[in-house]
Amino acid sequence: LIHDATYDDSEKARAQEVFHSTAGEAGEIAAKINARKLALVHASSRYTNMTTHIRDAGQNYKGEIIAPDDLDMIEIPFRD
The pLDDT of 29-49, averaged and rounded, is 96
The pLDDT of 30-58, averaged and rounded, is 96
Per-residue pLDDT for 16 more than 90? yes
* Residue 66 three-state SS: strand
Q: 37: domain range? A: 2-66
| Within-domain flag for 44 | yes
The total number of structural domains in the chain stands at: 1
The pLDDT of 23-31, averaged and rounded, is 99
Per-residue pLDDT for 35 more than 90? yes
Per-residue pLDDT for 80 more than 80? no
| Within-domain flag for 77 | no
In angstroms, how far is CA 9 from the centroid of its own chain?
11
| Within-domain flag for 80 | no
| Within-domain flag for 71 | no
| Within-domain flag for 16 | yes
- Residue (of 31, 34, 27) closest to 12 by Cα position: 27
pTM of the model: 0.91
Q: At what angle do helices 23-32 and 51-58 cross, to 10 degrees?
A: 40
